[in-house]
Structure 1
Amino acid sequence: MKKMYRTDIDGMRAFAVISVILFHLGLLPNGYLGVDIFFVISGYLITGIIYNEVKENRFSIFSFYERRIRRIIPLVLFTTVSALITGIIFMSPNDLNVLSQNVLASNFSMFNIFMYITSNDYWAVSNEYNPMMHMWSLGIEEQFYLLYPFIFLILKGNKQKFIFPLLIFLTFISLALFYYSNDVSAKFYLLQYRFFELSSGGIAAIYFSKWELNKKQVKKSKIILFSMIIIIFIIIQFNIIPDNDTKIIVITFLSIGVLTIGKYHFNDNKLYKLIFSNTIISSLGKISFSLYLWHQIVFAFARYSFNLHINSIESIFLSFIIIITLSVFTYFFVENPLRNKQFIETKNVYKVVSLSFIIIVSASFYIYKINGRVKDFPQLNITKSLVPRLYNNFDIVNNSPALYNDRIKVLDKPFKKNNNLKVLIIGNSFARDFANILLETKLKESIELSYFDPWKADITTELINRTYNADYIFYSSDIPTNKIMFDILISKFKIDIYKVWVVGLKNFGINNGVYYNSTKESFGCDTIRTSIRKDIWKSNQELRLIWNDRYIDLIENIIDSKKNVPVFTKDCKFISHDTRHLTIFGALFFSDILEERLKDIIKEKNL
């Protein structure tokens, strides 16, 4: 007997995706838990299908992969190429370069791993401008779909009795890893920590498929069902559970409860139908995959190109209209046609998918190779005709952005025995920025500069020698400098405190996209300002109090009363290409501001 289609599951999908969308608008504190509901639903449905096929001795791993390819890959390819094309039109080279990497990772079903390696922090504000940010969850699902069917392939036939206990065993391992691990990023992004959400849905599909409730039990189960729904709503709306791990585990098991009990009520109970089976929410559930893939792309480019913050009713409404329109289009013209075997044969699906994959991956790889320099970019003095020679990601020597900051690394060597003043700069990429500022001043003729990265080298030997020989020591990092730590280092290395200065923090907002897209002419560029991040401002103020006259404040001479800082120089060149690090124009900008202060610190010879 054919099972009745469960419209309530479509409703649950709609609830999950709407929660995520509202979260990405900053309107629902725990809306990200919608992803966890998605995981449970996916595990529940996929396991139910595969397990029934195994019981009926008709399971084929090739058929499973074919269904997943038809369901997922075409839409992923379509949305990622749409994001890439939009990025080419609107994005700055640095951001387009990052987007090309994200598209590559997404199309290889590895975006979650890519984010774990490169970003770690999903909650970072800068991710709001990343069109691919949400693809991490799809990466987890795709990896799950790749590995999961082998359990059923290996244990089919006479061994199928071991499927259920094996799933329980693997689920407990995953749950234990998730609960007891201290690696927050790994728990968020990697499959082994998320497996229990998908597999527990699968366990429920197998275990409760054998259950049948009588009328009296069905009637009583309504109370449990609606109680669970209310609790889910409360958890997603309010921070009643402070611990994130606990939230995820609770939402996982509540979702299982709604899935298993809801099958007795989706077709009869009016209130339950009103919540999850009404026409509107079921329709949104049907296009939920498209809604999920499109929403962050639309939000990111809206923020990037038109409005840093989507916070007005008009902008939110317009964004929703665009998302729904795109989702309806791709549902009817991409998802449905390519899922339909009668519309397109499997071999033709593979041809379309393979050709599209090769084109998109090749284009993304080329954009990455040329560092996002696909067109003239006057704000950074970039000319497209120079791309093959100057902007090659695999040619560090001729890669302009990498060269300017990384060129300082060649100065990571002991001081020579000469008469120049010895200047030691310690720190990470922020220290290299300061070195560039110093080298853009007239002081460069009378100093010998040595750079040391304490995170990359042996501090206890080489650093001692350089600090002893240095006349002046500057420390700079994006990590706020703790004076207690410095006092220990100074004591340990016997450093004279009077030759140590700490270089201040710097920040130029969250993203340059809006300024790039709204500023095509040079007139008045130096009047365009952006808000400095509040945490940077606070840390900068604290560091000024700690270090006093030994603090070189990069912010104080450029910030106004509204805590805004300039984006461009007078010549309409970006001070920072990524809001954190300096361009050559930014270094020149600060060298003019700081030259007199630096002359006071570094007493030039022959003056």
Structure 2
Amino acid sequence: MLALFLIRTADNRSMIMNNGGDPYLPDLQKYGNWKYVVKAFDYRATINNSFSNATIKSKRRIVLIGDSFAQDFYNMIIEGRHLLKYEICVFYVSARCQIYIGPEDRLNLIEARHRHTCTNAYDIKYALPLVRQANIIILAGFWQEWSARRLPSTLKLLNLTKQQQVFVIGAKNFGKVNPALYMNKSMEYRLKQYQNSPAEALKINQLLEETIDKSIFVNIQKMVCTGRNVTCSLFTRDGKLISHDGLHLTKFGALHIGNIIFKNKPLNRL
């Protein structure tokens, strides 16, 4: 939908830029799309995605595991220049397959239409060599109820040492976002745009809060959706769109949300 919107409005680019120099459309074209979300994470995954010998003694190794929300989290790190003292490796687990370790056959827990995709692939067990070498393990995902309920078991079966730390990044959802609605709108108008999060997203985060230690859980939704009646702002204070689809972050959204979560518990310990 966004791609179609950009194609239809590309001819109006010069008019928009001349209208007060509004960079809204160029920003979306560069940083408000799926290509931006995956680019940095995928690049890291393809270039020697292993820890160097230089960080063995420093104990500053992080492995980030998860789906497109892990890609968002990696963008938060990059845009805000966080965790600069750490070496970071990444491992992708599709949201269709979920992060899970346990006695049950995960294929029986995954939707039938996605089982073929997840067979012998997108499994956290393939990330265990990186987990063993890392000092900090970060799990980020679009959690489903079945994987969220089993997360305590998954964490236990990672068999982490007392010296290792783990953090779980909760899901985020700003509701449906249609970027076309904010074309040619004033800064004042954009800053007034707030939305409720879907009930399912709030339910999953509540479940995570109840089932895992709060000292390791990063509830992004609660940290950033602080508007009236717990609504979520769609724009940063300088009028930049936070999410182009309600789930994933633009470059400006990654910077904005990253600055919030890294200043608050528990990530402020890093």
What's the TM-score, normalizing by structure 2?
Answer: 0.71
- Please list, as runs of the form range in 1=range in 2, the aligned pairs for 1:71-82 lying within 5 A after superposition: none
Identical amino acids, percent of aligned pairs:
21
CA distance in 1, matches of 2:76, 2:224: 15
Q: CA deviation at 1:416?
A: 1.7
CA distance in 2, matches of 1:418, 1:579: 39
Provide closer, same or farther for how the CA distance between residues 487 and 494 of structure 1 changes in structure 2, counting only shifts above 3 A. same
CA distance in 1, matches of 2:240, 2:208: 29
Contact 2:240 2:252 in 1 (8 A): yes
Which structure: greater strand fraction?
2
1:509-553 deviation digits (Å, cap 9, x = unpaired): 223257415x61223533321121122122222222222221101
Aligned equivalent of 1:441, options 68, 80, 103: 80
Provide closer, same or farther for how the CA distance between residues 442 and 96 of structure 1 changes in structure 2, counting only shifts above 3 A. closer
The one-letter code matched in structure 1 to 2:135 is D
CA distance in 2, matches of 1:571, 1:459: 38
CA distance in 2, matches of 1:501, 1:425: 10
Q: CA deviation at 1:570?
A: 1.4
1:436 alignment partner, SS class: helix
Aligned equivalent of 1:540, options 183, 187, 205: 205
1:435 alignment partner, SS class: helix
Give the structure 2 partner of residue 557 of structure 1. 223
Aligned equivalent of 1:486, options 146, 151, 175: 151
2:89 alignment partner, SS class: strand
Residue 469 (structure 1) aligned with residue 98 (structure 2) = no
- Please list, as runs of the form range in 1=range in 2, the aligned pairs for 1:351-362 lying within 5 A after superposition: none
1:150-186 deviation digits (Å, cap 9, x = unpaired): xxxxxxxxxxxxxxxxxxxxxxxxxxxxxxxxxxxxx
CA distance in 2, matches of 1:447, 1:558: 25
CA distance in 2, matches of 1:400, 1:557: 24
Residue 522 (structure 1) aligned with residue 173 (structure 2) = no
Q: CA deviation at 1:477?
A: 1.2
Residue 96 (structure 1) aligned with residue 1 (structure 2) = no
1:523 alignment partner, SS class: helix
Give the structure 1 partner of residue 50 of structure 2. 414
Q: CA deviation at 1:442?
A: 3.9
Unaligned runs of 5+ in 2: 17-21, 95-120
Provide closer, same or farther for how the CA distance between residues 476 and 373 of structure 1 changes in structure 2, counting only shifts above 3 A. farther
Provide closer, same or farther for how the CA distance between residues 459 and 535 of structure 1 changes in structure 2, counting only shifts above 3 A. closer
- Please list, as runs of the form range in 1=range in 2, the aligned pairs for 1:26-37 lying within 5 A after superposition: none
CA distance in 2, matches of 1:523, 1:489: 46
Contact 2:149 2:208 in 1 (8 A): no
Give the structure 2 partner of residue 589 of structure 1. 256
Aligned residues: 226
Q: CA deviation at 1:458?
A: 5.6
Provide closer, same or farther for how the CA distance between residues 446 and 373 of structure 1 changes in structure 2, counting only shifts above 3 A. farther
Give the structure 2 partner of residue 511 of structure 1. 177
CA distance in 1, matches of 2:122, 2:131: 14
Q: CA deviation at 1:380?
A: 4.3
CA distance in 2, matches of 1:424, 1:539: 24
Contact 1:441 1:595 in 2 (8 A): no
The one-letter code matched in structure 1 to 2:173 is N
CA distance in 1, matches of 2:73, 2:170: 10
- Please list, as runs of the form range in 1=range in 2, the aligned pairs for 1:141-540 lying within 5 A after superposition: 367=7, 373-376=10-13, 378=22, 380=24, 382=26, 401-412=34-45, 413-419=49-55, 421-455=60-94, 456-457=121-122, 459-460=124-125, 462-480=126-144, 482=147, 485-496=150-161, 499-513=165-179, 515-517=181-183, 520-523=185-188, 525-540=190-205
Q: CA deviation at 1:588?
A: 0.8
Provide closer, same or farther for how the CA distance between residues 95 and 533 of structure 1 changes in structure 2, counting only shifts above 3 A. farther
Contact 1:474 1:502 in 2 (8 A): yes
Q: CA deviation at 1:557?
A: 2.4
2:188 alignment partner, SS class: coil
CA distance in 2, matches of 1:380, 1:506: 23
Provide closer, same or farther for how the CA distance between residues 459 and 562 of structure 1 changes in structure 2, counting only shifts above 3 A. closer
- Please list, as runs of the form range in 1=range in 2, the aligned pairs for 1:105-144 lying within 5 A after superposition: none
Give the structure 2 partner of residue 600 of structure 1. 268
Structure having greater relative contact order (Cα 8 Å, sep ≥ 6): 2
Provide closer, same or farther for how the CA distance between residues 96 and 524 of structure 1 changes in structure 2, counting only shifts above 3 A. closer
Contact 1:443 1:599 in 2 (8 A): no
CA RMSD of aligned residues (A): 3.2
Contact 1:480 1:543 in 2 (8 A): no
1:235-264 deviation digits (Å, cap 9, x = unpaired): xxxxxxxxxxxxxxxxxxxxxxxxxxxxxx
Unaligned runs of 5+ in 1: 1-91, 98-366, 392-398, 603-607
Give the structure 1 partner of residue 103 of structure 2. none
2:26 alignment partner, SS class: coil
Contact 1:379 1:573 in 2 (8 A): no
CA distance in 2, matches of 1:576, 1:94: 15
Q: CA deviation at 1:490?
A: 3.7
Provide closer, same or farther for how the CA distance between residues 373 and 457 of structure 1 changes in structure 2, counting only shifts above 3 A. farther
CA distance in 2, matches of 1:601, 1:95: 43
CA distance in 2, matches of 1:459, 1:489: 10
1:193-239 deviation digits (Å, cap 9, x = unpaired): xxxxxxxxxxxxxxxxxxxxxxxxxxxxxxxxxxxxxxxxxxxxxxx
CA distance in 1, matches of 2:75, 2:90: 11
CA distance in 2, matches of 1:557, 1:584: 19
Contact 1:425 1:474 in 2 (8 A): yes
Q: CA deviation at 1:443?
A: 2.8
1:409-465 deviation digits (Å, cap 9, x = unpaired): 1222222222361111111101110111122334342111111113454643x4111
